[in-house]
């Protein structure tokens, strides 16, 4: 995790925050408090999910008293990376607003995406295992 514009010096708090995806800020209704980038790579067979990242983002936002989390970039599970990665900005609302989280961050929608990622991760592990076995057999055949 790489933090920009803030640091955490106390224990984490937890509260619910507004989560947006690629929100464009065009006025002075919010002030940027900082940014964080999750680059965590899961170990072979164990993934870092979107749900894990959202939980961490909420704890970070609560600790620095941000009102809004704006995810500006994300990467999902791929063949050679079994971890969800994202970059997010934290904002403080300057005036009372009726801003709500995007529907894509309702827990049922997050859980559905995590399920898809886990199935991809499982398939990717099988592919990598098959490639390793083929490579091992090929090496053994060439050695003889």
Mean pLDDT value across residues 48-55: 87
Tell whether the model's pLDDT for residue 54 goes beyond 70: yes
pLDDT tens readout for residues 19-30: 999 998 877 889
Mean pLDDT value across residues 31-39: 91
Confidence of residue 74 (pLDDT cuts 50, 70, 90): very high
CA distance 58 to 65: 10
**Can you read off the two tokens belonging to residue 42?**
């899961």
Whether 50 contacts 84, CB under 8 Å: yes
Tell whether the model's pLDDT for residue 130 goes beyond 90: no
Closest CA to 51 of 64, 62, 63, 38: 38
Q: Which residues contact 118 (CB under 8 A, 6 or more apart)?
A: 47, 49
| Its pTM surpasses 0.85 | no
6-10, 35-39, 98-102: segment of lowest average pLDDT: 6-10
Mean pLDDT of the chain: 83
Return the domain boundaries, the chain. Answer: 2-143
Cβ atoms within 10 Å, residue 105 = 18
pLDDT tens readout for residues 83-106: 888 999 999 998 767 788 889 888
Confidence of residue 4 (pLDDT cuts 50, 70, 90): confident
């Amino acid at each position: 995790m790489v933090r920009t514009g803030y640091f955490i010096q106390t224990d984490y708090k937890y509260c619910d925050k507004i989560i947006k995806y690629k929100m464009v800020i065009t006025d002075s209704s919010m002030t940027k408090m900082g940014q964080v980038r999750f680059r965590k790579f899961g170990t072979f067979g164990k993934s870092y999910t979107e749900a894990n990242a959202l939980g961490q983002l909420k704890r970070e936002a609560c600790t620095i008293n941000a009102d809004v989390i704006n995810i500006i970039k994300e990467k999902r599970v791929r063949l050679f990376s079994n971890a969800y990665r994202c970059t997010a900005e934290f904002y403080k609302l300057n005036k009372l607003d009726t801003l709500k989280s995007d529907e894509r961050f309702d827990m049922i929608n997050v859980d559905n995406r995590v399920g898809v990622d886990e199935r991809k991760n499982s398939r990717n592990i099988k592919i990598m295992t098959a490639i390793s076995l083929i490579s091992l057999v090929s090496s053994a055949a060439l050695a003889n």
